[in-house]
Amino acid sequence: MALHLLHKKDSLMLPLAATLQAVAQTVESCQVCGNWDTQNPCHLCTDGRRDKTILAVVENVADLWAMERAQRFRGLYHVLGGTLSALSDVAPEALRIPSLVDRCRQGGIEEVILALNATIDGQTTAHYVAAALEGLPVRLTRLAQGVPIGGELDYLDEGTLGAALMARLPL
């Protein structure tokens, strides 16, 4: 990649360097939700059309963008900045859990959706967050697990198929 950029120094490398510098100078982490944006609080937190009573807790900004691409969620977000991991030595203090508890304490939030990865670290973090929010007047939910759109039962792993059975819906 570096060699390709050097071959196209004027047409590619210098404009890319200028763009990266501009991004580094203007983009910052939202003080409310942890999203990256050129304004702080970010455009999602300040959008009056979004439902401020629902909060989706995600691991990182890439997950927030994935949720936005789905175009189904119209609430607000809280980016944890990672997941608890014994292997990677990520402790609760390293995540934005205290600020999540503060947001829920301030009131106005009725539901917190734990939109975390269906991995061991993601589920460990979900349990920790649920414990941290215990006693607060918010309804805790998590994303459903099951058959993916276009998925064939024959190719599903037993864990996913079992979760889909447990989370079945009336027709």
> Which residue, 30 or 114, is less far from Zn ion as judged by CB?
30
Q: Examine residue 32 and tell whether it contacts Zn ion (CB under 5 A).
A: yes
Is residue 45 a contact residue for Zn ion (CB under 5 A)?
A: yes
Q: E strand or H helix at 142, and its extent?
A: strand 139-142
- Give least dist CB 162 to Zn ion, A: 36
CA–chain centroid gap for 170, Å, is 29
Binding mask 76-105 for Zn ion (x = CB under 5 A): ------------------------------
CB 34 within 8 A of CB 57: no
Write the CA distances from 40 to 31, 36, 57, 77, 150, integer angstroms: 7, 9, 19, 14, 39
Identify which range of 40-48, 80-88, 94-102, 133-141 contacts Zn ion by CB under 5 A.
Answer: 40-48
Give the Cα separation of 123 and 126 in Å (integer).
Answer: 5
Q: Which amino acid is at 107?
A: G
Bond prior to 41 in cis (omega within 30° of 0): yes
User: Smallest distance, Å, CB 32 to Zn ion?
Assistant: 4
Instruction: Spell out, one character per residue from 2 to 31, where the chain touches Zn ion: x when CB under 5 A holds, - when not.
Output: ----------------------------x-
Give dist(CA 114, CA 143) in Å, integer: 7
- Give the span between the Cα atoms of 110 and 125, in whole angstroms: 21
The verdict on 33 binding Zn ion (CB under 5 A) reads yes
Select 33 or 55, whichever has its Cβ closest to Zn ion: 33
Q: Is 42 in the site for Zn ion (CB under 5 A)?
A: yes
Binding site for Zn ion (CB under 5 A): 30, 32-33, 35, 41-42, 45
